[in-house]
Chain A
Amino acid sequence: MAAHARIGFVLLLMPILLWLVLLIIIPHVDMLLISLRERVGVGEYRTSLANYVTIATEPLYMRTFMRTAVMSVLATLITLLIAFPVSYYIAKMARGRVRSVLFLLCLIPFWVSELVRTFGWMILLRETGVISQFLQWAGLVSGPVEMLYNDAAIMVGLVYTSMLFMVVPLVTTLDSLDDSVIEAGYDLGGSGWSVMREIVIPHAVPGIVSGCIVVFMLSLGNYLTPTMLGGKDSLWFTEMIYSQFIVRFNWELGAAFGFMLLFASSVIVWGMLRLTGQTLERTMG
């Protein structure tokens, strides 16, 4: 009987184990091995830490990485600031049909591919684009304005792309907050702000944290948006990984970059969880 149960357990576990081993663990081990290789001659390699030394000694790579990380954090915060009121309205104030319509409005942009969405922003922001022409038509500016190809454009693109991934967990957690608790807060003499601070936000923390983790990861690993909307100075870390792998044929350095990204994003997420006193099970479960 016990043996039976064990076989059943193993069989049930099989798909997830296969998934983990074949698609995540094996490729990463391979990447790790590649990143520890150094090219010494035509088709000759030896094991060394040279790639990691390059990352540490070439200030450009560290700078680009920090830039990417800081901008991703910033994008996450902006997304949270915009998404929280929206989610609160959807979860607590809107009722019935309005609620579904609002939720649908958040969802609709995701029916088209990310490429098309980003291209939409290009059409709006470019020098001969919609916004620039409107401003000229309205007489607010005298010549064409260029709003594309800078960091602000990247930020707009990132926030827009990640909005849904913040709204959904927030709506779910806010939904689970009993309205009577908020009412009780007011009955006990709380102001709008103190109710928000003492009751709503603490209750929503798991949602906020899980939303932030997802948005942060998406921004950090985004390739399309920074490449298309970014300007001549905006180097994104994923762009560097792509060019090492594809353009420079330098898999070794590219793999080292990949590991650095994995390591650093894990550290940042871990720090975020510690800071808010959350655990991964609570936020994701």
Chain B
Amino acid sequence: MKNLLLTLTAGVAGTALLAGAAQADTLRLLTWGGYAPENVIEKFEAETGHTVEVTMSNNEEMIAKLRATGGGGFDLAQPSQDRIKGPQEEFGIYKPIDLSKIDADQFTASMLEATKANSTVDGEVYAVPHIWGTSGLIVNKAEAEGVKDYTDLCNPDLEGKVSYRLKRPTLIAFAFSMGMDPFEAYGDEDAYTEIMEKVEKKLIECKPVVKTYWSGGDELLNLVRSGEVVAAMAWDTGGWKLNADNADINFVAPASGALGWIDTFVLPAKGKADDAAYDWINFVMQPEVAAMITESAGNFTASKGADEYASDTLKAQYQGSFSPEAVDNIKWYPPVPAGLEAIEGGILDRVKAAQ
């Protein structure tokens, strides 16, 4: 009897200990390069006792990874806000965010509301915003002064000196530049197919001008830095990075509007350390920490007041690329309805295979 009691007490004590240990969790973070810099992780680990494991990825791979495990393997992920609704409806890989655990005051209100609206499925909110930026044009002024819009990348004078990706942003960008509105047609598959077929024709027509379709960010930066490419479609931060090395090169907001994206925080459906995830969100949204991330990622965050801490170079570069009108002209990606990728996929394959 005494023995049994002892065993029981030991058991209870053991469970209590385990519960105590669970307070300090391991946060498995699935994110983009630069979004979780070493100095921020160290500070977070020291402050909360959690440990952070970072896996770097991109939008498509994040969703593919979560889909393969049904939303397991990670506790916090950062896909763009247009990639929440479709995948959630189709694969159910996220779980709703408990907004009461998020310090909403730290967010820029308009951005938080927009992301909430874009990531609501069946009345539940699935994402909060973190980092935003745009894609547009990177132009070497000395060599390609005339490039003002995406379709200028088809100028035969630039033959063999142009590069862009064969991915959906390119299709969307060319559609806007050709005077169409693909976002308007998101809900209508036939109308969207028609737009995309026009873009396909244009891209095939422009193919002789292209040097190569780039696939990795660093690959493109190398091409532009070495002077092999003088005009490209790419992200704003890439342009600003190059601008620091060579003043002739800079990011240009295209006449038809830069394409704006917001990367978010979402909880994978089978995440195990939700508390650590909420801790991380609230931690990185503090203005000082957000500024550290801006320094490493090169993009601004949705944290209110973090701009004050941002470096002057970055601010100057940002203002150089974006006039107030250009900011108003940014086209923000609406949620991608499930099934559009299949249409775009066929188009992209045909462009790549065209001779």
Contacts and interface: CB of A to CB of B under 8 A. Distances in A.
B353 A233 contact: yes
Interface stretch (B112-120, B320-328, B344-352): B344-352
Contact of B352 (A39, A149, A233): A233
Q: Do most interface residues of chain A lie in helix, strand or loop, or is the interface mixed?
A: loop
13 contacts: A64-B353, A127-B228, A232-B352, A233-B352, A233-B354, A233-B355, A235-B349, A243-B348, A243-B349, A247-B341, A248-B341, A249-B63, A249-B87
Contacts, number: 72
Contacts of A240: 349
B294 to A, nearest CB: 28
Given A42-B338, A250-B341, A245 B64 contact: yes
Contacts of B338: 42
B167 A248 contact: no
Interface residues of A, number: 28
Given A149-B212, A235-B349, A248-B345, A128 B228 contact: yes
Given A42-B89, A233-B352, 4 more contacts: A43-B92, A233-B355, A244-B345, A248-B341
Contacts of A245: 64
Nearest to A54: B346
Given A60-B353, A146-B160, A243 B90 contact: no
A229 B349 CA distance: 18
Interface of B: 60-61, 63-64, 67, 87, 89-92, 160, 167, 207, 210-213, 215, 226-228, 338-339, 341-342, 344-346, 348-350, 352-355
Nearest to A59: B353
A128 B212 CA distance: 15
Interface in A241-271: 243-250
A126 interface: yes
A8 to B, nearest CB: 39
A31 B345 CA distance: 21
Nearest to A127: B228
A231 B212 contact: yes
Contacts of A64: 349, 353
Contacts of B342: 248, 250
A227 interface: yes
B350 A60 contact: yes
Contacts of B213: 232
